[in-house]
Amino acid sequence: MNKIIEKKQLNATNILFRVEAPEIAKKARAGQFIILRIREKGERIPLTIADWDKDSITLVFQPVGKTTNELAELKVNDKILDLMGPLGTPSHIEKFGTVVMIGGGLGIAPCYPIAKAMKQAGNKVICIFGARNKELFFWQDKFKKVSDEIILCTDDGSLGIKGFTTDGLKQLMQKGKIDRIVAIGPTIMMKFITLTAGDIPVVVSLNPIMVDGMGMCGGCRVLIDGEVKFACVDGPEFIGQKVDWDSLLNRVKTYEEEEHKCKINLQ
């Protein structure tokens, strides 16, 4: 069992947990995730490792369904029954030149360890973050330490560029050469970032339905360059230009009706 040693409300929708997990923290790398289970008969859910230190890992999540709402009710010193990880293939880190990190909503959190690693590798790191309004941004101070520039985009124009992350990317592309893009956020956002980028390599972190996290159930299968891959073991990161976005968008909607009913029951 893993003890929660810090709980923080980052904004109106996102919650941070720092969880005691020395064995996972020792092996964690940028881009990896864990799967947790709160109780014996509970659901298994994947969460990206947003940061770590010697003895703990940081998780950022949004209460949207039954399990994440149950998770949000836990307090400091409460324990999570199962925590498995680190899972997934780590991000490919090297000196590319100018790397643009793009995060949408909750996707901002998993951008942090990748941006940090890219900066340590000698890259110029520019971050583009998008949210519905200015109140939903978080960790700007943390990102300032690992970024050369931060561009904020809001749907309502309350901060930065009025528009989407694609608008921020278009403006940046007009200013100079970009060697690599890493995009994390809603599936539709990652698709349109890829379309906007043209021939600039875009690395996307895919989040299809996932159960075991070890490549056995096949629930997280995605089509990459015409071949079936598993997001849990082959990913979660893939080159966006090789992703079959239509297939992926259909898969993430598989349980849309059931998810809607679940949200109604939670209200």
Structure confidence by residue, pLDDT tens digits, 101-152: 999 999 999 999 999 999 999 999 999 999 999 999 999 999 999 999 999 9
82 in the same domain as 43:
yes
37 in the same domain as 116:
no
The answer to the question of residue 163 being in a domain is: yes
Count of domains observed in the chain: 2
- What pairs with residue 45 in β-bridges? 36
The answer on pLDDT for 264 being more than 90 is: no
Report how far residue 77's alpha carbon sits from residue 20's, in angstroms, rounded to the nearest whole number.
10
Per-residue pLDDT tens over the stretch 191-238: 999 999 999 999 999 988 888 888 888 889 999 999 999 999 999 999
109 in the same domain as 43:
no
Domain that holds residue 203: 98-252
Report how far residue 258's alpha carbon sits from residue 8's, in angstroms, rounded to the nearest whole number.
30
The answer on pLDDT for 267 being more than 60 is: no
123 in the same domain as 77:
no
187 in the same domain as 150:
yes
Instruction: Give the closest residue to 68 by CA, choosing from 79, 58, 60, 77.
Output: 60
Tell whether pTM > 0.75: yes
* pLDDT of the residue at 212: 85
13 in the same domain as 103:
no
Q: What percent of the chain has pLDDT over 70?
A: 95
The answer to the question of residue 215 being in a domain is: yes
The answer on pLDDT for 265 being more than 70 is: no
Instruction: Give the closest residue to 113 by CA, choosing from 95, 135, 139.
Output: 139
122 in the same domain as 227:
yes
Q: How far is CA 162 from CA 151, 153, 198, in A?
A: 11, 6, 23
